[in-house]
A and B are shown apart, each in its own frame.
Chain A
Amino acid sequence: MNILIKNGHIIDPSNNLDRTADLLIEDGRIAQIGQNLSVTPDTEIIDATGQLVVPGLIDMHTHLREPGYEYKETIRTGTLAAAAGGFTTICCMPNTKPVNDSQAVTEFILHKAASEGIVNVHPIGAITKGCNGIEITEMGDLKKAGCIAVSDDGKPVMNSLVMRRALEYAKMFNLPVISHCEDTSLSEDGVMNEGRVSTELGLRGIPNASEDIMVARDIALAELTGGHIHIAHVSTKGAVELIRRAKEKGIHVTAETCPHYLLLTDEAVTGYNTNAKMKPPLRQGGDVEAVRKGLQDGTIDVIATDHAPHAQEEKEREFDYAPFGIVGLETALSLILRLVEEGILTLKDVVLKMSANPARVLGIERGNLSIGVHADITIINPHTTWVVEAANLKSKGKNTPFEGWKMRGRVSAAIVGGRIVFRV
């Protein structure tokens, strides 16, 4: 079926579009953008007056949990959550059970996504077998099966030689190596940021240095090997500075951060809130400022969610024993629109960081509204106000630190390959 999105404010930095126009979808692809487009009578018309029409959002850091942890999330529920949050493409991390370190697991995920998922799913393969940090995976096979990057996310590759070899090998296949930067000998059994709040709460701290050291190492290895390192979930001032300098030197490094590192500090842990427990941990005000700055000046390319659903009984535990991670797919866009309201980002920046740039980092042909491309489109009503209620999330995970937050701006429709997969 053909769809006409009428009279929306189209923002597509890749094509320098920032104006009100109609957008016509034919046969699942973008056919025309212009004023007062004429259509056939069977065309479905979406009135987007006063709304934003942007290339479908891309989350390059999602945990779908399937296979193995279906009680936390499935490909079905994860993609439902993605669509509701405006993400038409998500990239799922390999720390499932079994780990996605083989063609077979990649194919399983893609098969499930095709039959049960409602948005595009691109798997990310493991850097090392079993994410154990010892032996690198068959990245050629992984790429052939459909992986678009490699990562041991959730764990760092602690051995520098293994990381060097991974960067060298991944380079052959143009696979970005996505690094979870954490020196585990420093973070040890820490459960939150190290600072005044951890001191008051008597919780073991994770210093900024555990992130900064690994960012510095990975940049040095990217320089050595010429491989593409992508720094996941940047949370510290030090990491931003290191990445900025590396980019100035022309090293092939890209980086992402997440909404929570832009909007929360470690104060959110006060009261032992396990929904504010994630890795890297929420940092302090100076870090939030630096990460925002890095986003503004282009040091940080991408905003990703690090959507990490957990079961309620896992989070309803002693802080020390609760797992790390929070859900993010359904709150990310509205949270980032706050930064637009605060004047930190422009709407164009939002589209770049949440669609065009992740597509560029991963080398996938999405994230733009060029004529002829697959019609992945997100329509956003910037005026809708709503309140986050975990119970209403489509994700199985209800572990959000934003419960009760008043939001402004929400997805009104998500279109994947010309099919409406979510509509308010």
Chain B
Amino acid sequence: MGLKSKDLLDIQGLEKDEINLILDTAESFKEVTSRDIKKVPTLRGKTVFNLFFEPSTRTRTSFELAAKRLSADVINFSVSTSSVVKGETLLDTARNIEAMRSDFIVIRHSASGAPHMLARQLKSSVINAGDGSHEHPTQALLDMFTIREKKGMIEGLKIAIIGDIIHSRVARSNIHGLTKLGAEVRIVGPPALIPMDIEALGVSVFYNMEDALSGADVIMVLRLQLERQGKNFFPSLREYAGLYSLTSDKAGYAKEDVMIMHPGPMNRGVEISPEVADGLSSVILEQVTNGIAVRMAALYLLSGVG
């Protein structure tokens, strides 16, 4: 089997089998990335455009490396949102890129749904590299890959996601993916950072860390956007950190073999303490490594080459 859509827009639209297919495929690509010569000719002659409307180093580089290791040509089309304000619409920008015979457009955009709009209008495969507060499907895929790799399976695991859920595309993608694969997902944070009716997505909501983390197999810490300060989501970083920062004390509520994850970039001392981030339970850097294999898998499967 392959993927049903030409695009990878969100995890919500993927079936369980499709998620597993991507994860399985990523396993073989991970083997490729650990070779001495980390390159296969699979996507030779294909062109990948990275279209990033928001600053990103990690994700853009990861996509670039993934494409290069598959021998595709990669163009980084760096656009600031200001150039859009100057007049050209996103759709026109994308149509121009397609006129250069793109095969893939990898897009990150601050507006939720921007990749979906492009996907409807373009023949190229559109990959969502993060849209607003909506989804970040490849991040969730690499998170699921990492969990599966470490824990053997995802079904039945208790997974807690901490922090700014309402603004987090990482949280939404993981919630969809992890629940599809049978995990028990808990989210925890102050009420203003928990979006309305999120229980409908099959998660349980906690405001208290001890309740949320007790017995957890995996803890995902989200980045707290520092610009949320002063908007009354919470009174101060100090109080936020006191309540929700993942310290070793709080991590102690979870299972002994708990695995700590963070999508990066981290605010050390805000949402996560340095000793936890760098501790033995942390897989934060492995997440980054796995990101390349997962993105190779996504590009490969969408290309239909197989």
Residues of chain A having any CB pair with chain B under 8 Å = 194-196, 198-205, 207, 271-272, 313, 316-321
15 A-B pairs besides A200-B12, A271-B116, A272-B112 with CB distance below 8 A are A195-B197, A199-B198, A199-B200, A199-B201, A200-B201, A202-B112, A202-B169, A203-B134, A207-B196, A316-B91, A316-B117, A317-B91, A317-B117, A318-B113, A320-B110
Contacts of B200 in A (CB 8 A): 196, 199
In the assembled complex, the CB of B132 is this many whole angstroms from the nearest CB of chain A, namely 5
Is B116 within 8 A of A198, CB to CB? no
Q: Report if B266 contacts A (CB, 8 A).
A: no
In the assembled complex, the CB of A238 is this many whole angstroms from the nearest CB of chain B, namely 16
Q: How far is the CA of A272 from the CA of B190 in the complex (A)?
A: 28
In the assembled complex, the CB of A259 is this many whole angstroms from the nearest CB of chain B, namely 25
Is B196 within 8 A of A317, CB to CB? no
Least CB separation from A271: chain B residue: B116
Contacts of A316 in B (CB 8 A): 89, 91, 117
Q: How far is the CA of A60 from the CA of B198 in the complex (A)?
A: 38
In the assembled complex, the CB of B194 is this many whole angstroms from the nearest CB of chain A, namely 9
CB < 8 Å neighbour of B132 from A200, A202, A313: A202
In the assembled complex, the CB of B213 is this many whole angstroms from the nearest CB of chain A, namely 23
Is A199 within 8 A of B135, CB to CB? no
Please tell me the size bucket of the interface on B: 20 to 34
Q: How far is the CA of A313 from the CA of B90 in the complex (A)?
A: 11
Is A318 within 8 A of B111, CB to CB? yes
The residue in A194, A316, A319, A321 that gathers the most chain B C-beta atoms within 10 A of its C-beta is A319
Is A196 within 8 A of B117, CB to CB? no
Considering only residues 66-94 of chain B, those with a C-beta below 8 Å from chain A are: 89-91
Is B117 within 8 A of A272, CB to CB? yes
The residue in B91, B112, B114, B116 that gathers the most chain A C-beta atoms within 10 A of its C-beta is B112
Considering only residues 43-71 of chain B, those with a C-beta below 8 Å from chain A are: none
The residue in A194, A198, A202 that gathers the most chain B C-beta atoms within 10 A of its C-beta is A202
The residue in A198, A199, A321 that gathers the most chain B C-beta atoms within 10 A of its C-beta is A199
Q: How far is the CA of A231 from the CA of B299 in the complex (A)?
A: 53
Least CB separation from A313: chain B residue: B89
Q: How far is the CA of A194 from the CA of B90 in the complex (A)?
A: 26
Contacts of A271 in B (CB 8 A): 113, 116
Q: Report if B279 contacts A (CB, 8 A).
A: no
Q: How far is the CA of A198 from the CA of B195 in the complex (A)?
A: 9
Q: How far is the CA of A155 from the CA of B114 in the complex (A)?
A: 27
Q: How far is the CA of A271 from the CA of B12 in the complex (A)?
A: 12
In the assembled complex, the CB of B200 is this many whole angstroms from the nearest CB of chain A, namely 4
Q: How far is the CA of A207 from the CA of B198 in the complex (A)?
A: 15
Is B90 within 8 A of A200, CB to CB? no
Is B196 within 8 A of A320, CB to CB? no
In the assembled complex, the CB of A20 is this many whole angstroms from the nearest CB of chain B, namely 49
Contacts of B172 in A (CB 8 A): 200, 202
Q: How far is the CA of A125 from the CA of B220 in the complex (A)?
A: 55
Q: Report if B133 contacts A (CB, 8 A).
A: yes
The residue in B12, B90, B132, B198 that gathers the most chain A C-beta atoms within 10 A of its C-beta is B132
Considering only residues 110-151 of chain B, those with a C-beta below 8 Å from chain A are: 110-114, 116-117, 131-135
CB-defined A-B contacts under 8 Å, sample of 10 = A202-B112, A202-B169, A203-B133, A204-B133, A272-B116, A272-B117, A317-B89, A317-B91, A318-B90, A318-B117
In the assembled complex, the CB of A122 is this many whole angstroms from the nearest CB of chain B, namely 36
Q: How far is the CA of A39 from the CA of B134 in the complex (A)?
A: 67
Least CB separation from B116: chain A residue: A272
Is B197 within 8 A of A320, CB to CB? no
Contacts of A205 in B (CB 8 A): 195-196
Contacts of B112 in A (CB 8 A): 201-203, 272, 319-320
Q: Report if B109 contacts A (CB, 8 A).
A: yes
Is B113 within 8 A of A194, CB to CB? no
Question: Which 7 pairs between the two chains have the least Cβ-Cβ distance?
Answer: A202-B134, A272-B113, A318-B111, A202-B133, A196-B197, A199-B195, A202-B112
Least CB separation from A202: chain B residue: B134
In the assembled complex, the CB of B186 is this many whole angstroms from the nearest CB of chain A, namely 16
Contacts of B117 in A (CB 8 A): 272, 316-319
Contacts of B198 in A (CB 8 A): 199
Q: B250-277 interface mask toward A, CB cutoff 8 Å, 1 = contact, 0 = none?
A: 0000000000000000000000000000
Q: How far is the CA of A140 from the CA of B195 in the complex (A)?
A: 47
The residue in B89, B111, B134 that gathers the most chain A C-beta atoms within 10 A of its C-beta is B111
Least CB separation from B53: chain A residue: A318
Q: B195-220 interface mask toward A, CB cutoff 8 Å, 1 = contact, 0 = none?
A: 11110110000000000000000000
Considering only residues 153-185 of chain B, those with a C-beta below 8 Å from chain A are: 169, 172
Q: How far is the CA of A14 from the CA of B114 in the complex (A)?
A: 51
Contacts of B197 in A (CB 8 A): 195-196, 199
Q: How far is the CA of A199 from the CA of B135 in the complex (A)?
A: 11
Contacts of B134 in A (CB 8 A): 201-203
In the assembled complex, the CB of A247 is this many whole angstroms from the nearest CB of chain B, namely 31
In the assembled complex, the CB of A316 is this many whole angstroms from the nearest CB of chain B, namely 6
